A = this chain, B = another copy of it.
Amino acid sequence: MTAALETTTLSRSELIWPGMCGHNSLFAGQIGDWTWDAVGRLCGTDVLRAHNAAGRPTYLSFYYYRIRGSRRFHLRSPTFGDRLRITTGLFDFGSESVLALHRITPERGADVPLDLDEFYAGDGDGLYVENFNRWVTRGTAGSNEGLVRSSPVDFRHRHLPSLPERYNPRVACHRARTELSFVDEGLGHVPDGAELHVDYEVDAARDLNGVGLLYFASYFSIVDWALLRLWRGLGRSERSFLDRIVVDQQLCYLGNADAGCVVTASVRRWRAAGDESRELFNVVLRDRGTGRVLAVCTLTVLIGDAP
């Protein structure tokens, strides 16, 4: 099926600068800005300075972030001077949430409309990104804990198309929240080796965004930081870590945290059932002090030079 998205999609051509790519979370952060930009353009609200009915700042917080790619084109493929085409569609999830889908490909002639079945099959040569966001405000001034849902008064969403139920991101989020993993054990995947627990302290020097919240892209960095510890434990090199090809990453954001908060990352490797070419890693981030879960992330990584 091809959804009729004419008035609810955007297409943009972007040149990749150093501040948008690399062995870091800059590209994930950049995609997030494109999500905000799409909501600002298509939903009638000033996404950068949104306020709720009480006049308090409200933020289009990331709740679920999935990015799929391929050996040829993945999250760390874009580099200096690449020109990319980003085709974005927004979908209606009521007044408190919104879903953005981005198909990101090397720029090549004519723009092609977003096709949902192709998007969710994810087997083209692009990056397929889902950003499911919720409007939140601080529950307590000066604290990053206890964010509460709160929409801006001028947020328009009823003109956006509905997403077919089979693609509803809430299914994956429900799994992550209840099972603390996106790994589907029903498919026969099995854990390989012990779970590693490592502590990370939320860094006042680099982890908070411009409004003092733990930046959504920092979660990618913290997950990767923890993954690197497990990676080394497997006897693998920094070089092989830099060369890793992550073809699927799902991240569900369940809590925010203040600078100085000690986060325990629990990392475990899984063998993919019937597929020697890939391995899975599941990472759970918890506030060490309270046990509060901050995030659940599962990555699918290609192994060595397997095709």
Among A98-106, A188-196, A209-217, the stretch that binds chain B is A209-217
Chain B residues contacting A29 (CB-CB under 8 Å) are: 18-19, 26
Q: Is the CB of A217 within 8 A of B19?
A: yes
Among A1-9, A30-38, A248-256, A287-295, the stretch that binds chain B is A30-38
Could you tell me the distance in whole angstroms from the C-beta of A173 to the nearest C-beta in chain B? Answer: 22
Scoring A46, A48, A208 by chain B CB atoms within 10 A of each residue's CB, the highest score goes to A48
Q: Is the CB of A204 within 8 A of B228?
A: yes
Q: What count of chain A residues pass the 8 Å CB interface test? A: 49
* Per-residue interface assignment for chain A, residues 177 to 215, with 1 indicating a CB less than 8 Å from any chain B CB and 0 otherwise: 000000000000000000000000001111111111001
Chain B residues contacting A96 (CB-CB under 8 Å) are: none
CA of A22 to CA of B215 in the docked complex: distance in angstroms?
9
CA of A25 to CA of B221 in the docked complex: distance in angstroms?
14
A18: contacting residue among B24, B33, B228, B242, CB under 8 A: B33
- Interface assignment of A167: CB less than 8 Å from any CB of chain B: no
Chain B residues contacting A78 (CB-CB under 8 Å) are: 210
Chain B residues contacting A19 (CB-CB under 8 Å) are: 19-20, 26, 29-30, 32-33, 217
- The chain B residue with its CB closest to the CB of A209 is B22
Chain B residues contacting A25 (CB-CB under 8 Å) are: 206
* Per-residue interface assignment for chain A, residues 68 to 93, with 1 indicating a CB less than 8 Å from any chain B CB and 0 otherwise: 00000000001111000000000000
Scoring A18, A26, A212 by chain B CB atoms within 10 A of each residue's CB, the highest score goes to A18
Query: Known contacts A30-B19, A32-B18; is A207 also within 8 Å of B79 by CB?
Result: no
Query: Can you list 23 contacts pairing A with B, beta carbon distance less than 8 Å?
Result: A16-B48, A16-B210, A17-B37, A18-B32, A18-B33, A18-B36, A18-B209, A18-B210, A19-B30, A21-B209, A22-B210, A22-B215, A23-B204, A23-B205, A23-B207, A23-B209, A24-B209, A48-B81, A49-B80, A80-B211, A204-B238, A205-B224, A206-B224
